[in-house]
Structure 1
Amino acid sequence: MLRAGLLILAVAVAVGSARAEDWPLPDWQADITAIDWQAVDSYAFPERDATKRSGIRSDALLIIRDGRILHERYAAPTTAKTAHLTWSVSKSVLATVLGVAQGEGRFQLQDPAARFYPPMQAHPDVRLADLLHWASGLAWQEDYEYAPLKSSVVAMLYTRGRHDMAAYTASRPVAEKPGQRFIYSSGDSNVLAAALRGMLKGSAYPDYPWQALFTPLGIHSAVWERDGSGTFVGSSYLYLSARDLARIGLLMQREGRWGGRQLLPASWVAFNRTLSSQATPLPGEANPGGHWWLNQPLPGSASPWPDAPADTYAALGHWGQALYILPTHKLVIVRYADDRDGSYHHNELLKRVLAALAKEGA
């Protein structure tokens, strides 16, 4: 009888634990806990002068704790169903798709990029790991509207490179030995997108992000543009609703698990969250991991976001797009925006969110 009782207790605990973990199946549940979000909203959604394009302009803010929505706000015309341009958040989602491919045995980090993308034979020593660390060594200037005539990324996305962005990147001259120095490059990301194509057979490529990641997560809003060669613009042109991007955040927060399935290898998540040995300090910026951005300090420097836990990491994009993951607090935060003047600061938003949650627990 004692043994039977212990077995029943063990089953009850297991069932209780399973029920305690919420998943957005089919959609997110909301936590009705009353939290004062005024300080958060006053920062993210300040009153604006409609005649000015500068300043902080949030289009969406979504805060999720342990799989439940705590706070959600949108600014017209953005809604919960809007597939918003994610800009360079696309890079981290590309890395997540690649993680599924790696778990399927399609490549190893030390493989040369040329194995899967022949134009990189001009740079035979560049490994996939180097591209994931933005350390290909290829000459690159990641300037946007502030220096368009000198910008490699503007040329790749909009002028001479737009028909085949990976080929444009592969044709760049060598600036450094591969794997030696971090040089942020949207070109590296688009070579990875082309390499993914080489890992797949036949006509599998156009559907692969959906088959590998989006459909298993229940993501329905995704639109991913491709260049003239048919390669996904892995650097920049993925569109997702805030709720769908949060699904990727929850997958990462839970070490690659989705429901009862290990969709993404836990070792891949660990790689994404490991500080690149090539990282160099960028004032006010997060530090690079495996195509994600980390709050881990470099030797001799402080954490980029001092008011957030050191294990915080993020996918970040132009004009203030962000997917923050705070494992210590089981938080996933999505922010879509159209910031134009650099006045928005990641640390300030995270500090206010954590302060609001601390007051709830007081």
Structure 2
Amino acid sequence: MKRAKIWITGIALMIGVAMATRLALQAGAIGAGYAAKQICSGVFVARLPEQFVVETDVLPRLATVGPLTQLLDYALDSTEQSVVASLLGQTATAQHQPRYGCALGEADEAPLFPRSDGALKNLNELSAAAATAAPPARNSQGRESAALQNTLDEAFTEPSGGGRNTLAVIVMHRGEIVAERYSGPVTAETPMQGWSMNKSLIATFVGRQIDQGHLRLDDSVVTALQAAGAGGATVAKADPDLTLKHLLSMTTGFDFSERYFPGDDVTDMLYRQPGMWRSAPDTGHALPPGEQWAYSSGDINTASLIWQQSLKGEPYPDWIEAHFSQPLSLDEIVLEPDASGVQVGSSYAYLTARDWARMGQLWLDAWHGRSEVISQAWQRRAVTPGTAKGGEIYGLGFWLNTDHRAFPSAPENTFHAGGNSGQFVVVIPDKELVIVRLGLTLNESRTDMNALLDDVLATL
């Protein structure tokens, strides 16, 4: 009996060691990927100081999954515009390319779409080194009234224990900026990562193509996967009835996990997969399409593939320049791809705070039927509550204020784009308001967006 207990204990120990080793390898790969990608984009896309990116973004994020911060090693090559990061024996490389930003790794296949060789017309030529001369923290643009000055003071003031890290706030009323403030080294010229606000952009790009007759909400996902050359196993896992609408509404039923820990589907997708558009379909279905809402970055990356397929070979930066940057007078928009060339529609969009506000104004104008870029029919459809179980808080790429759940004091038809670490573009149609808040807020409750909206609504 004693030998049996020793044998069982030995087996359990071996399993525990194997699981710990596997978890360490996953944590190393994800951590190295996150560090390489964020440092590359922070320095070469956002043009922020390297130290700021590492100390306020990378290290705090790594600290949330254990004592990894002291184990990180990285090298930034300013000439090659690349970053190599290593953690727990795992290495990741991020490379910057003009107009495309930074992407991790090398694809094991040819890019799915042609790449643009044009220069971004409105590129601000600030270098990363020049960003160190940015204005000091809480730099006011001097546009706000006394009441709004107090509102912005509160938005940038750290709560007890800190962690708010507000970097930019813009309030637009009736199409005009009435309040604007930044925390250095961020300025009005800094492209800021929107994280999941990219999902709202993808929905908008799809809407444009639907308006023009190039896409339909009932377009087949299986057909798109086959056209992209997905393997037979991937195609076979996708329900034949799965459509673009299911992707945008996050009702695919894919067995895709949105938990952000090493080894989970979403972190594996973002930091280990060259073709992120495959990640959700590769998990297969847990439920039939249309039955249950479940937040899924993987769904949107597959939708991004379908949007790019609809461009018929036109590089997506060129298409965005023609249909959005020029009509909306955007200063700079960088949407980063994965290694296969598909834009990471779940996460990797960089716009200045003013350009995020201009996108919010587009959504507001389209809702009122005042836009020539996006139809009122599409924008109203995109912010209509879903009918799947749990989907009443989400439309097509936008968060809703159904039953005043998101923002209790705001009108129920308020909607917003939202992203990790406290990114918000809030649109309040009844009040002709667009409110942008950007930051690096690990605990998103510390953004206190409800207080910001309450103060703005009380003032305007």
TM over 0.5: yes
Look up the match of 2:259: 143
Q: In the alignment, is the contact (CA less than 8 A) between 2:367 and 2:380 conserved in 1? A: no
Look up the match of 1:324: 426
Q: In the alignment, is the contact (CA less than 8 A) between 1:66 and 1:330 conserved in 2? A: yes
In the alignment, is residue 280 of structure 1 matched against residue 396 of structure 2?
A: no
Q: In the alignment, is the contact (CA less than 8 A) between 1:137 and 1:176 conserved in 2? A: yes
- Which of 396, 399, 402 does residue 293 from structure 1 map onto? 399
Going from structure 1 to structure 2, the CA distance change for 1:322 and 1:180 (only over 3 Å counts) comes to same
Aligned residues: 311
User: How far has the Cα of 1:141 moved from its partner?
Assistant: 1.3
Q: Which has the higher contact order (CA 8 A, sep 6+)?
A: 1
Look up the match of 1:177: 288
Superposed CA deviations along residues 282-313 of structure 1, whole A, max 9, x for unmatched, are: xxxx921111001022xxxx533111111110
Unaligned runs of 5+ in 1: 1-29, 358-362
Task: Between 244-253 and 348-357, report the one with greater CA deviation.
Answer: 348-357
- Which of 93, 115, 127 does residue 243 from structure 2 map onto? 127
- Greater helix percent: which structure? 2
Look up the match of 2:3: none
User: How far has the Cα of 1:258 moved from its partner?
Assistant: 9.5
Q: In the alignment, is the contact (CA less than 8 A) between 1:99 and 1:264 conserved in 2? A: yes
Going from structure 1 to structure 2, the CA distance change for 1:279 and 1:243 (only over 3 Å counts) comes to farther
Going from structure 1 to structure 2, the CA distance change for 1:256 and 1:204 (only over 3 Å counts) comes to farther
Q: In the alignment, is the contact (CA less than 8 A) between 1:62 and 1:243 conserved in 2? A: yes
Q: Distance in 2 between matches of 1:236 and 1:257?
A: 28
Partner amino acid for 2:262?
A: P
Alignment of 1:1-362 (within 5 A): 34-47=145-158, 55-118=163-226, 119=230, 121-122=235-236, 123=238, 124-144=240-260, 147-149=261-263, 151-159=264-272, 161=273, 163-255=274-366, 262-278=372-388, 280=390, 287-297=393-403, 303-341=405-443, 342-357=445-460
Going from structure 1 to structure 2, the CA distance change for 1:153 and 1:60 (only over 3 Å counts) comes to same
Q: Distance in 1 between matches of 2:407 and 2:328?
A: 29
Q: In the alignment, is the contact (CA less than 8 A) between 2:217 and 2:245 conserved in 1? A: yes
Superposed CA deviations along residues 78-106 of structure 1, whole A, max 9, x for unmatched, are: 10110001100010011111111111101
Equivalent residue of 1:255, what SS? helix
Q: In the alignment, is the contact (CA less than 8 A) between 1:55 and 1:340 conserved in 2? A: yes
Q: In the alignment, is the contact (CA less than 8 A) between 1:116 and 1:199 conserved in 2? A: no
Q: Distance in 2 between matches of 1:164 and 1:223?
A: 19
Q: Distance in 1 between matches of 2:212 and 2:224?
A: 15
Q: TM-score with structure 1 length normalisation? A: 0.80
Equivalent residue of 2:323, what SS? helix
Partner amino acid for 2:386?
A: S
Q: Distance in 1 between matches of 2:416 and 2:269?
A: 25
Going from structure 1 to structure 2, the CA distance change for 1:250 and 1:258 (only over 3 Å counts) comes to farther
Q: Distance in 1 between matches of 2:217 and 2:311?
A: 16
Task: Between 62-71 and 104-113, report the one with greater CA deviation.
Answer: 104-113
Look up the match of 2:18: none
What is the aligned-residue identity percentage? 33
Look up the match of 2:59: none
User: How far has the Cα of 1:33 moved from its partner?
Assistant: 7.2
Q: Distance in 2 between matches of 1:143 and 1:43?
A: 31
Q: TM-score with structure 2 length normalisation? A: 0.64
CA-atom RMSD in angstroms = 2.3
